[in-house]
Amino acid sequence: MDMLKKKMLRPDEDGQGETPAETAEETVELDPMQQELEKAQAQAEEYLNLAQRVQADFDNFRRRNASVRADAYEDGAKDMIKLVLPVIDNLERALESESTDEKLHEGVQMTYKMMMDVLEKRGVTVIDRKGEAFDPNLENAVMRAPKEMGEPGTVSQVFQKGYKLGDSVLRFAMVQVVEE
């Protein structure tokens, strides 16, 4: 910037040297140029800051979008698994019933095994805690059992298995608990 304020030189009368020629006219010409330069630099800095903010906002948007997408996928998977659980219950009931058709029984058993393998690959675990202490975070007590049925406060019978995905309970187990 000091270079722009450099004094302008003009040849002296005999043509041999140069003498400084600093008139008000020439100084006035440099001041608007200096102002324009400073204005352009300020504008460039403002545009750089704006571009950096836009880039940061876009990065935040991308991260938020990825997180929302992952959460939506997990919610959809949980909902689908919840819809399949009654089918698994019916397959279990079919396997427990007496059947004279061995091939039908074998087909139901294969279907049940395939469904359970799919749930296992997805990370679903069964909540079946017969004989263990009742846990209200995993089970719903729907009946009381007499003290003779076991240790007080333990699950004496499981009416419907529960399922969980990771730490999230998809369906609470319906159980009978021994009275205390």
pLDDT digits over 128-156, tens only?
A: 888 899 999 999 999 999 988 888 999 99
CA-to-CA distance for 113 and 82, rounded, in angstroms? Answer: 17
Structure confidence at residue 100 as a pLDDT band (50, 70, 90):
confident
Mean pLDDT of 63-89: 93
Report domain extents, the chain: 124-180
How many CB atoms within 10 Å of residue 177? 23
Angle at CA 152, nearest 5°, toward 146 and 156? 65
Looking at the domain 124-180, which fold is it?
A: Nucleotide Exchange Factor Grpe; Chain A, domain 2 (2.30.22)
pLDDT digits over 52-74, tens only?
A: 999 999 999 999 999 999 999 99
Give the torsion sign (CA, 68, 71, 72, 73): positive
Are 173 and 160 within 8 A, CB to CB? Answer: yes
Q: What pTM does this model have?
A: 0.64
Are 176 and 142 within 8 A, CB to CB? Answer: yes
